[in-house]
Amino acid sequence: MNGKVGSEIKTLVVCVDRDNDIGEKAGLKTPIIGKEASLSAATKLALADPEDSDVNAIFEAIRLCEQLKSTEENAGVEIVLVAGDKNAGIDADRKIGEELEEVLSKTAVESAILVSDGAEDEWIIPILGSRVKIDSVRRVVVKQSEQLESTFYLIKRLFEDPKFSRTFLPPIGLIFIALFISFLVEKPGWAVGLIFGFIGTYLLLKGLGRENVMMDFFETVKQSLYSGKISFVAYICAVVFLLAGTSQGIVEYPKAHKASEPILMGMVYYIRGAIWWYVGAGLAPLTGKMLNMLIEKERIVRQWAILFSVIASGVILWGGSECIILLSNGEPMDDLLGYLYLFLSILGAIILSFIGVAISRYVKGTVIGKEEVVTEAEVALK
């Protein structure tokens, strides 16, 4: 903790930096207490990044603290700077809460005044309010010159902000790619479907907290390329399989135009045409990883179960789609054949799943057995 807090402090002016620019840019550790320490912190942060709005928030907190000291006799006012984490979110809020507890445990503070540079930092109002009474919240709005307030500058700065670019630019980029592909193949109507598909996928991943899945995938591909692993080629194969499967599914989709439910049956035809390509896309990176593990002499355990589960999923989806298509024909023999396809696909999927689990358990048991033998040998030698 930088600075000391006395027990006579009654009002605390809290300046919060939720994304920890103080620590990341100026290299300072929080909490920082006192006017002199805060001035030093603001100076170091301004030298590291003159455009950071947290600098203005710190100076405003210092000004407010001095104003309260001059207008209220024996006010017992002090300033404290607290910071979160560069990734914001829960980790940042927990760190801010811990720093507030550290400061409040050393004094009998009765109230607090929060100073922030924007709405994001004001997320800690409930955290601060649960520990001490909040008298006021001050948001610092930086006055810029007319040139800096221009639209071009604001857009440029917005695009340079990692929080904005990583959240909003990927789906916008995908929408433009969808428009490009649809106009390239002279099918503008596809653009609407592709755009809704991209937006729906992004919102689903965002809701599940998995919006970084694609970025993680590309990072894994890059690491595979740099390290010279076979899995890089496997990822390229997976992309090719995905494109081929999608194309084949689109080719099969129009076959349902005569059905009573063309949209539903179109999806069934799409699955039947694309499923094995998609299974290949799922198996390609998994196979590449298994080959890498084999080259590096690592034990392949749970990958066997995943491999057979992917194949089993393909079998049951293919059998189900064939069953639905045959049943839609309305012929007794086709109905019987459809049910047979469904039964055999379910049976095959169950058998494949059992095979995968059995292989994984066998390999796992072999590894554990060898480890126990090695442990017993080491004990005997000792």
Residue pair 134/148 in contact (Cβ under 8 Å)? The answer is no
- Give residue 142's pLDDT: 61
Give me the numbers of helices (H) and strands (E) for the chain, helices first please. 13, 5
**Residue 265 to residue 267: CA distance in whole angstroms:** 5
Token pair listed for 114: 């929060």
**Residue 354 to residue 373: CA distance in whole angstroms:** 28
Q: For residue 14, give the H/E element and its range.
A: strand 11-17
Task: Print pLDDT tens along the chain (382 aa).
Answer: 555 555 566 788 888 888 888 888 888 888 888 888 888 888 888 888 887 778 888 888 888 888 888 776 556 788 888 888 877 677 788 888 888 888 888 777 788 888 877 656 567 788 888 888 888 887 776 655 444 445 555 666 666 666 666 667 777 777 777 777 777 767 666 667 667 766 777 677 667 666 566 666 666 666 666 566 677 788 888 888 888 888 888 888 887 767 667 778 888 888 888 899 999 988 888 888 888 788 777 777 788 888 888 999 999 999 888 888 888 877 888 788 888 888 999 999 999 989 888 888 887 776 555 554 445 445 545 5
**Residue 359 to residue 88: CA distance in whole angstroms:** 43
DSSP state of 298: -
133 Cβ neighbours under 8 A, 6+ residues apart: 110, 111, 112
Residue pair 17/54 in contact (Cβ under 8 Å)? The answer is yes
**Residue 290 to residue 102: CA distance in whole angstroms:** 49
Token pair listed for 324: 């639905």
**Residue 182 to residue 193: CA distance in whole angstroms:** 10
The string of DSSP letters for 136-202 reads: EEEE------TTTTSHHHHHHHHHH-HHHHHHHHHHHHHHHHHHHHHHHTT-HHHHHHHHHHHHHHH
**Residue 38 to residue 333: CA distance in whole angstroms:** 84
Residue pair 249/274 in contact (Cβ under 8 Å)? The answer is yes
Instruction: Please give the order of strands across the beta sheet that includes 133-139.
Output: 32-33, 77-83, 11-17, 111-116, 133-139
Neighbours of 280 (CB within 10 A): 19
Q: For residue 81, give the H/E element and its range.
A: strand 77-83
Neighbours of 128 (CB within 10 A): 22
- Give residue 56's pLDDT: 84
**Residue 345 to residue 325: CA distance in whole angstroms:** 15
Residue pair 224/232 in contact (Cβ under 8 Å)? The answer is yes
52 Cβ neighbours under 8 A, 6+ residues apart: 21, 25, 45, 46
71: left (phi over 0), alpha (psi -120 to 50) or beta: alpha
For 229, 234, 242, 312, the CA distances from 237, given in Å and listed in that order, are 14, 5, 9, 20
- Give residue 121's pLDDT: 59
Map residue 72 onto helix, strand or coil: coil
Residue pair 100/128 in contact (Cβ under 8 Å)? The answer is yes
Residue pair 77/10 in contact (Cβ under 8 Å)? The answer is yes
- Give residue 119's pLDDT: 56
317: left (phi over 0), alpha (psi -120 to 50) or beta: alpha
